Structure 1
Amino acid sequence: DSKQPKPPPGSKWKEVRHDNKVTWLASWTENIQGSIKYIMLNPSSRIKGEKDWQKYETARCLKKCVDRIRTQYRDDWKSKEMRIRQRAVALYFIDKLALRAGNEKEEGETADTVGCCSLRVEHIKLHPKINDQEFVVEFDFLGKDSIRYYNKMPVEKRVFKNLQLFLENKQPEDDLFDRLNTSILNKHLQELMDGLTAKVFRTYNASITLQQQLKELTCPDDSIPAKILSYNRANRAVAILCNHQRAPPKTFEKSMQNLQTKIDEKEKQLSTARKQLKAAKADHKASHDEKSRKTVEVKRKAVQRIEEQLMKLQVQATDREENKQIALGTSKLNYLDPRISVAWCKKHGVSIEKIYNKTQREKFAWAIDMAEKDYEF
């Protein structure tokens, strides 16, 4: 109830504001586009950590009621009301394709970007059958940050029939869901579960996908480099689901050439080391003395060391090639419960440093302290 102080004398700050519902520390209107800029808390701050934890706990709550929600939107596909059918199909897309709701356009962004609720007729094509798959929907539109979303996805027959109905008597520029907007959808999501949004669905599906992929892809007997490759492949599955793309780095071809040169050199070293081991074994077979036995042991260890180095380089090359157009960092920072990754590291003996860099470890310090190897999302 105390009186708010005035801005410091001699400064140009407009006011001192008390607002416990925001996390920015200072804001101002910049002088080019007139947009509002903010000074935010450091990602590693306690308040940010608590907010992150709450975000993933909300997504975990969805796990308890997602089957009920899916049953309901399937029933709604048969509703007598067109608005309910449209809402149900849109929710199906948000759930299965991790689409954004459609209101995430950045301030000042002028590109024709859309989300689920703002899809137009021109953004989809229906294929009753294509490449031996029935009821395929072809999506092609610009999503957030003007990143193209292109996908051909088989859908359930009733979804396909509803989409045919939604397209009737419409022009390409007409809305696909003409009786739906983000406000209507968000209100419905809140009724289904407290705190539920399209982003919560996205976070839930991303985290569940990572956890399932890690279980399927990780072999306990694999080497550390092979386990890290499995982790990145699981992360890649999430990035593809969330449409986190990037242009291949300009230095990609050059770096791959350099890596291949290292692989070629290592293969030559391995060939030489194997010949030396073979010769040492023959020498020991002839002499049977202690010196030749020790030489065989040294040569065997040298072969083993070079084999491990070669495998590490080959895994690195595979990893780079597979991820040249996929941005793994976005989902890792924003949509994947870090406790899944921490638990995986602890379970499989992989150093946290191999998965998270210094900044990420600071951001997810709460998860590193909290998660044990048996953590389940």
Structure 2
Amino acid sequence: CPRWEEEKMADGVKWKQLEHRGPYFAPLYEPLPDDVQFYYDGKPLKLSLATEEIATFYAKMLDHEYTTKEIFQNNFFNDWRKEMTPQEQKIIKHLDKCDFREIHKYFVDKNEARKALSKEEKQKLKEEADKIQEEYGYCILDGHREKIGNFKTEPPGLFRGRGDHPKMGMLKKRIMPEDVVINCSKDSKIPEPPAGHKWKEVRFDNTVTWLASWTENIQNSLKYIMLNPSSKLKGEKDWQKYEVARKLKDVVHKIRAQYQADWKSKEMKKRQRAVALYFIDKLALRAGNEKEEGETADTVGCCSLRVEHIKLHPKLDGQEHVVEFDFLGKDSIRYYNKVSVEKPVFKNLQLFMKNKDPGDDLFDRLTTVILNKHLQNLMNGLTAKVFRTYNASITLQEQLKALTNPEDNVAGKLLSYNRANRAVAILCNHQRSTPKTFEKSMQNLQSKIDAKKQQLEKAQQELKKAEDEFEDAKDAKAEANVQKKKKLLERLKEQLAKLNVQATDKEENKQIALGTSKLNYLDPRISIAWCKKFGVPIEKIYNKTQREKFAWAIDMTDEDFEF
């Protein structure tokens, strides 16, 4: 039987046996060669090893826009000075007098040299990496050899953060064995720490699925080494996630009827909860947790929206009751949207905003805790995220039904698939900035299209010529030649159509990130059923890693699957 259908364990128990080698630690710092210098105020300055290492982090990023941002520069310089020797602190007082250019050039050259390695040398490096993967990248879980997701600790460096994160540029410290908690089974071979070191702690906790954990120093958040998405445990969890979202399908009408009734409730608390739930359902907003002031970027979700984040327009662009949203969501991604809402929602928002300052909470009687407790009462396992998963999956399924033309060739069907996926990404606000290489790759594609058009014209002329020759000769050889030229013309037409589809797809996709929803919000069974129904190879939708992640779905889905 497939391994996700093996015997179920007692509640809360995730495994009986877990054995692994522990994390693979980032390699130690290699000092710069003597002829690569750091300059301060125009003069070369030999740095102590710890100070030099941190200088290389900044030097490597010189051509990145991060190092032009003041907040990044200040945070870096602050943290760098803390690690300097007292003598260095006396000399190095201003970042703008520091010259990292020689160090930067050294790393650029090193990178180029690595790219220029011969095939054999690259193969040798790959074999070394594979050896580490073999040794550290697998664990034994209940008798199965399972792949580990990220078995290496993050190397030290400078924190980047997304958007305008207040902590960008701060020093991410090196993770040592003394920082790491190991989790494995009691009777297993407990991993050995690197020589001369010891683990922070060894645990035998079979109610969690992580293998090792540590606290990173910037946000004080816990980092984990987890199983690879293709593993049995992760596959089961993924499957359950979509099953919960499918359960919502049966009760969503009831939930909608209830929150619509609550818009008229006598209790302000209920009204706010009902409007927030409407946003989460209709716009797939995230719930938005409370956060420590000043600790993190100022990002919000539905429950933490402030008055300044929305504008109300009784009429706008020919629509009534329009709410204009403008705020920074998760990872500092801007959410900007103008939505026509139901009249009672609009009236309630006017009420919620009355006598409030721009910085006041829109839903002042609501927290994510209150909201999620309410959702849990409506349906077991229901959270705001389940709404996102449900609405994303249902949108994909409906869009695929509406957009797919069974007569199209595979390229045409894939364009329809990507358009359906785009509808979901737009709903979930999964944006990206236009890739740096976009213009260039678009030009390359255009030249391919132009070349193909010329080939097509030439083929049309040759067909005409062949037909004329057949008119004159009327023999079998001339007839075969006409058929040959016709086939070539058909093939070229098909190739041109395919290139045009690619160009359309690329253009429509330049500012939308399809991957996030494809991996996290869309039930893979919808896509697999669509592939089987319309004769599209699954590998056109999911690459090898994704097919491993969704092996559970590929195993169990036929073309009639309905979300």
Q: Flag whether TM exceeds 0.5 (same fold).
A: yes
Deviations 1:195-228 (A, max 9, x none): 0000000000000000000000000000110000
Q: 1:239 touches 1:245 (CA, 8 Å); kept in 2?
A: yes
Q: Which residue does the alignment assign to 1:177?
A: 363
Q: Which has the larger radius of gyration?
A: 2
Match of 1:361 among 547, 550, 560: 547
Q: Would you say how many aligned residue pairs link Structure 1 and Structure 2? A: 377
Q: SS state of the match for residue 203, structure 2?
A: coil
1:322-341 aligned at under 5 Å gives the runs 322-341=508-527
Whether 1:317 aligns to 2:497 is no
1:298-309 aligned at under 5 Å gives the runs 298-309=484-495
Deviation, structure 1 residue 287: 1.4
Q: Which residue does the alignment assign to 2:314?
A: 128
Whether 1:47 aligns to 2:268 is no
Q: Which residue does the alignment assign to 2:131?
A: none
Q: 1:59 touches 1:200 (CA, 8 Å); kept in 2?
A: yes
- Aligned-pair Cα RMSD in Å: 2.0
Q: Which residue does the alignment assign to 2:254?
A: 68
Letter in 2 for 1:360: Q
Aligned-partner Cα distance in 2 for 1:105–1:297:
71
Q: Which residue does the alignment assign to 1:239?
A: 425
Q: Against the structure 1 CA distance between its residues 107 and 144, is the aligned structure 2 distance closer, same or farther, given a 3 Å change threshold?
A: farther
Aligned-partner Cα distance in 2 for 1:62–1:310:
44
Match of 2:470 among 276, 284, 291: 284
Aligned-partner Cα distance in 2 for 1:106–1:318:
44
Whether 1:89 aligns to 2:275 is yes
Whether 1:346 aligns to 2:532 is yes
Gapped regions of structure 2 (runs ≥ 5): 1-15, 17-184
Aligned-partner Cα distance in 2 for 1:268–1:106:
62
1:156-167 aligned at under 5 Å gives the runs 156-167=342-353
Deviations 1:77-124 (A, max 9, x none): 010000000000000000000000002879996211000000000000
Letter in 2 for 1:132: G
Deviations 1:28-74 (A, max 9, x none): 23355543221111011011000000000000000000000000000
Q: 1:7 touches 1:13 (CA, 8 Å); kept in 2?
A: no
Aligned-partner Cα distance in 2 for 1:225–1:203:
27
Letter in 2 for 1:263: I
Whether 1:263 aligns to 2:449 is yes
- Greater length-normalized contact order (CA 8 Å, ≥ 6 residues apart): 1
Whether 1:138 aligns to 2:317 is no
Q: 1:105 touches 1:113 (CA, 8 Å); kept in 2?
A: no
Q: 1:4 touches 1:16 (CA, 8 Å); kept in 2?
A: no
Instruction: Return 30-39 or 183-192, whichever deviates more.
Output: 30-39
Deviation, structure 1 residue 22: 2.5
Aligned-partner Cα distance in 1 for 2:266–2:307:
22
Q: 2:263 touches 2:344 (CA, 8 Å); kept in 1?
A: yes
Whether 1:373 aligns to 2:559 is yes
Deviation, structure 1 residue 4: 4.8
Whether 1:226 aligns to 2:412 is yes
Q: 2:532 touches 2:558 (CA, 8 Å); kept in 1?
A: yes
Identity of aligned residues (%): 76
Instruction: Return 343-352 or 26-35, whichever deviates more.
Output: 26-35
Instruction: Return 275-284 or 231-240, whichever deviates more.
Output: 275-284
Q: SS state of the match for residue 331, structure 2?
A: helix
Q: SS state of the match for residue 16, structure 1?
A: strand
Aligned-partner Cα distance in 2 for 1:56–1:108:
36
Q: SS state of the match for residue 178, structure 1?
A: coil
Aligned-partner Cα distance in 2 for 1:90–1:137:
13
Q: SS state of the match for residue 150, structure 1?
A: strand
Gapped regions of structure 1 (runs ≥ 5): none
Q: Against the structure 1 CA distance between its residues 363 and 107, is the aligned structure 2 distance closer, same or farther, given a 3 Å change threshold?
A: farther
- Write 1 or 2 for the structure with the bigger share of helix: 1
Aligned-partner Cα distance in 2 for 1:104–1:58:
25
Q: Against the structure 1 CA distance between its residues 191 and 363, is the aligned structure 2 distance closer, same or farther, given a 3 Å change threshold?
A: same
Aligned-partner Cα distance in 2 for 1:55–1:29:
27
Q: 2:289 touches 2:301 (CA, 8 Å); kept in 1?
A: yes
Q: 1:269 touches 1:306 (CA, 8 Å); kept in 2?
A: yes
Match of 2:284 among 88, 98, 101: 98
Q: SS state of the match for residue 338, structure 2?
A: strand
Aligned-partner Cα distance in 2 for 1:301–1:76:
66
Q: Against the structure 1 CA distance between its residues 129 and 33, is the aligned structure 2 distance closer, same or farther, given a 3 Å change threshold?
A: closer
Q: 2:290 touches 2:304 (CA, 8 Å); kept in 1?
A: no
Letter in 2 for 1:315: V
Deviation, structure 1 residue 19: 2.9
TM-score by length of 2: 0.65
Deviation, structure 1 residue 21: 3.5
Aligned-partner Cα distance in 1 for 2:352–2:497:
53
Q: 1:35 touches 1:107 (CA, 8 Å); kept in 2?
A: no
Deviation, structure 1 residue 15: 2.2
Aligned-partner Cα distance in 2 for 1:105–1:210:
33
TM-score by length of 1: 0.96
Letter in 1 for 2:258: Q
Letter in 1 for 2:378: L
Whether 1:194 aligns to 2:194 is no
Q: Which residue does the alignment assign to 1:17?
A: 203
Q: 1:7 touches 1:16 (CA, 8 Å); kept in 2?
A: no
Letter in 1 for 2:526: I
